[in-house]
Chains A and B, each alone.
Chain A
Amino acid sequence: MKSWQSSGATLMAIGALFACSSEGGGPSSITIGAELQNGPNGPRAVCVRLPVLLGSQSAATTSVGSAFDMDLLALRHNAHIRFPGARNAEAAGRTLSLGQLSAGYAETVTVSGSDGVEYEVLVHSGCSDTSNDDP
């Protein structure tokens, strides 16, 4: 009798455990991208997904002709974007936090390329990380 009672109690405890469990959620898919909006070098885009694991990094880069590059580096909690080759201060590097990106981020940056042309680059969250021009 005691063994029945103890088995029943064990089953109830297991049932309660499952009843109390919550739906598991996978890693959030936060991305950051940079898209060239104009200029003679054609459409260019680069996009990375913020990684999940401690120590992970995700990077991508693309060149806009010989005018400048668009470099992205994503860590778990922030992402860095740089425009090597740019001549203007507005195109200095930026660091965006996970909070900024998950809330939705969009900024158009004017980049003065080394070819003397002014380019518009849209920096934004929510890009598709399969859209890289230079994977």
Chain B
Amino acid sequence: MISQLPWTGVPRVVLAGAFAFAVGVVDARPAHAAPVSEGSGPPARTGFQMALRSGVSFPMGDASGGGSDTLGRRYAWQLPIAIDLGAKVTRSIFVGTYFQLGFGAEGSDREVTAYCDDDDDNFSNDVSCSALTARLGLMANYQFAPDAAVNPWLGYGFGFESASQSLNDKQHGYSETTTASGLTYAQLAGGVDFRGSVGGGPYLEFAMGRFTRTSTEQNGRQVYSGAIDDRALHAWITLGLRLVVRP
């Protein structure tokens, strides 16, 4: 049983982790420690920094606590495109916002895939299906070697998220979209930037959240909107590359 703040539904352990991270990164390196590879890359910057990220995301966990409603049955793997906007407030610490869209197909649910798979011979995609996710929030990361050519980093973020799955049956004139939205409690990420005039490198991200509300539209008309009673934890694991402006 994870205790929660009553007004947010956010587990206390997540907030404690966020606080520990925020405090820890301010002075993570002992004063006497030598900087990693100091001087081997462009000088460390402060001020505006931006990163573009993309890769491939895989669903984990449950969309809701109802039976076998796993995230993977609703949504297949996705192609995310993300932008981080913010500033280096010190040589090592970046704080800012993130916004991410993820594009993909329907998940592994057999009934839905049976509808969505175009298995007739009329050369037309009669029933099209898609999934779209969005995440928006605040983030911070700590860069271990801000003035080195190779700069490892760790990050944490939290915010809002939503995920939609859509089905459009052109032959029968029927469309359906279900959107689930909720909170991203912890977007944990780490990677290595190779710094030059721009920077970039591979990263791995684990974004854990929980849907709290859901809505359904049939033929463009909202037929349901309400809270999810039986909530569950899910996560997206992303492996990708990022490009950093003013690394």
Contact = CB atoms under 8 A, between A and B. Distances in A.
Interface in B98-128: 107, 109, 111-112, 115, 117-121, 126-127
A42 interface: no
In the complex, which range does the number of interface residues on chain A fall in?
20 to 34
Contacts of A58: 216, 218, 223-224
Interface residues of B, number: 34
Most buried by B among A18, A29, A58, A135: A58
Given A24-B127, A26-B169, A49-B218, A54 B112 contact: yes
Interface in A109-135: 129, 135
Nearest to B109: A54
Contacts of A76: 111
A119 B205 CA distance: 59
Contact of B64 (A24, A49, A55, A129): A55
Given A53-B165, A56-B224, A58-B224, A27 B172 contact: yes
Contact of A57 (B119, B121, B221, B224): B224
B216 A29 contact: no
A51 interface: yes
Interface string A34-75: 000000000000001101111111111000000000000000
Given A53-B176, A55-B69, A24 B118 contact: yes
B178 A24 contact: no
Contacts of B169: 26-27
A71 to B, nearest CB: 12
A52 B214 contact: no
B107 A54 contact: yes
Given A53-B178, A54-B74, A54-B109, A22 B172 contact: no
A22 B126 CA distance: 13
B126 A24 contact: yes
B3 interface: no
A53 B110 CA distance: 11
Most buried by B among A24, A29, A51, A129: A24
Contacts of A57: 214, 216, 223-224, 226
A22 B214 contact: no
Contact of A56 (B117, B118, B178): B178
A23 interface: yes
B109 A29 contact: no
A50 to B, nearest CB: 10
Contacts of B223: 48-49, 51, 57-60
A118 to B, nearest CB: 30
B197 interface: no
Nearest to B221: A135
A27 B174 contact: yes
A15 B216 CA distance: 39
A54 B126 contact: no
B95 interface: no
Interface in B211-239: 214, 216, 218, 221, 223-224, 226
A21 interface: yes
B171 interface: yes
A26 B124 CA distance: 13
Interface of A: 18-19, 21-27, 29, 48-49, 51-60, 76, 129, 135
Interface of B: 63-64, 69, 73-74, 107, 109, 111-112, 115, 117-121, 126-127, 165, 167, 169, 171-172, 174, 176-178, 180, 214, 216, 218, 221, 223-224, 226
